[in-house]
Chains A and B, each alone.
Chain A
């Protein structure tokens, strides 16, 4: 019930943000990535609640700054793999909602590490035989620089993030191999319930 509401809200927000999209269309992939990273870094530096890992605040930040630049359906679809074809619309919405909660947690872990870092875009590589590009950047701070890459694709002339690589690890790829055994065991519904359980446990552990 709540989940459905959440899904609807997400769709609503997606629609609300649509008019902004064309403005980004002309941007180069580098500019697009630079803009998002700058916005997120600034937001986190300005708000101690975000640094301390306040999940509610982080969800707000993600919804406002990150989700509009992400094609989350593609991310979820790719992580789920071939079984996605057999998932109903409702199952797809649930998968996306649960996967999003999980990723928000990953993201919050990253945000709590932000202090005085800067992001430097190092390179953009076109992906052969596709409209995709990979924008590579480096987060520089006190410790060793952390590599942060984005895989982007064009959807009706707008760049969207479809995968992120932190320190050499592609997020969607990692979750594809996490999801596979669950899908093998319990199918789409099995995966949904495992994800839901995991999110619930994590939420309980946090408070």
Chain B
């Protein structure tokens, strides 16, 4: 029953993943070992395909998105950038509020609702963020998390074209999230212009992080994947996932002292 559901969802998500449905069909016969010694990772059975999409996304980012985000950061005054970021954040908070309620978290839902009201009314329509100062910090929730709370497993890792790391479950939530977090849904704005601005604003805030990941990861693809999956799991458990055991049973055989 559950696996049937999972299969259906997988199919749906892949269809959503922008017309790439024909290629990832392959993992079904993943008994065929992948290139050389690389074993198939159970959380990432479509690794070969995912790596290609990841490289594609990186190329686009490097060529277009990152330079624009950099220019935005370097040439637009901080106040304006913060205002734009707050504005989009406030719109996204509306959808977060809905997701708090969908997850049955009435208390934090009310708090997020208050946050939106406060910022909209006293923060010039969300351009300022007085709510954070009033101890109503942002607690984001998206539909992928809601599905997780409802008990849907994450399923395999998927890298979506342009949208980046996701899982089958999260990919199901993405279209809805995109829709509900776009200001054009609530306001009479040009969809493309506002989406582009939103993208640049978000990307600009991540400039330091992405550069750092490039520096400290041995394999950027798997670093991002593992981080994404761990982060999402943590979010679904609201910061309290079951503790994993710390693997450290490799100790203290004194090192083979310069044998041979």
Residues of B bordering A, CB below 8 Å: 37-38, 129, 132, 137-140, 208-209, 212, 215-219, 222-223, 226-227, 230-235, 239-241, 243-248, 250-251, 253, 255-258
Q: Does A51 contact B (CB under 8 A)?
A: no
CB distance from A11 to the nearest CB of B (A): 15
Q: Which residue of B lies closest to A180 (CB)?
A: B222
Contacts of B219 in A (CB 8 A): 178, 181
Instruction: From known contacts A109-B209, A167-B231, A181-B219, infer whether A147 and B239 are also in contact, taking CB-CB under 8 Å.
Output: yes
Contacts of B227 in A (CB 8 A): 169, 174
12 A-B pairs besides A83-B250, A144-B138, A194-B218 with CB distance below 8 A are A78-B250, A86-B256, A87-B255, A106-B212, A112-B208, A128-B243, A140-B137, A143-B138, A168-B233, A173-B230, A174-B226, A178-B217
**Contacting pair B243 A177 (CB below 8 A):** no
**Contacting pair B140 A105 (CB below 8 A):** no
Partner of A88, one of B230, B245, B246, B258: B258
Closest 7 CB pairs of A and B: A168-B234, A109-B212, A202-B215, A168-B231, A78-B248, A84-B250, A144-B138
CB distance from B118 to the nearest CB of A (A): 16
Contacts of A142 in B (CB 8 A): 129, 132
CB distance from A162 to the nearest CB of B (A): 7
Contacts of A169 in B (CB 8 A): 226-227, 230-231, 234
Chain A, interface size category, equals 35 or more
CA separation between A178 and B227, bound complex, in Å?
Answer: 11
Instruction: From known contacts A145-B137, A178-B219, infer whether A167 and B234 are also in contact, taking CB-CB under 8 Å.
Output: yes
Contacts of B137 in A (CB 8 A): 140, 144-145
Residues of A bordering B, CB below 8 Å: 74, 77-78, 80-89, 91-92, 102, 105-106, 109, 112-113, 125, 127-128, 130, 132, 134, 136, 140, 142-145, 147, 151, 162-163, 167-170, 172-174, 176-179, 181-182, 184, 194-195, 198, 201-202, 205
Partner of B216, one of A78, A106, A113: A106
11 A-B pairs with CB atoms under 8 Å apart are A78-B248, A82-B250, A84-B250, A106-B212, A130-B246, A169-B226, A169-B231, A178-B218, A181-B218, A194-B218, A198-B216
CA separation between A68 and B137, bound complex, in Å?
Answer: 33
CA separation between A149 and B243, bound complex, in Å?
Answer: 11
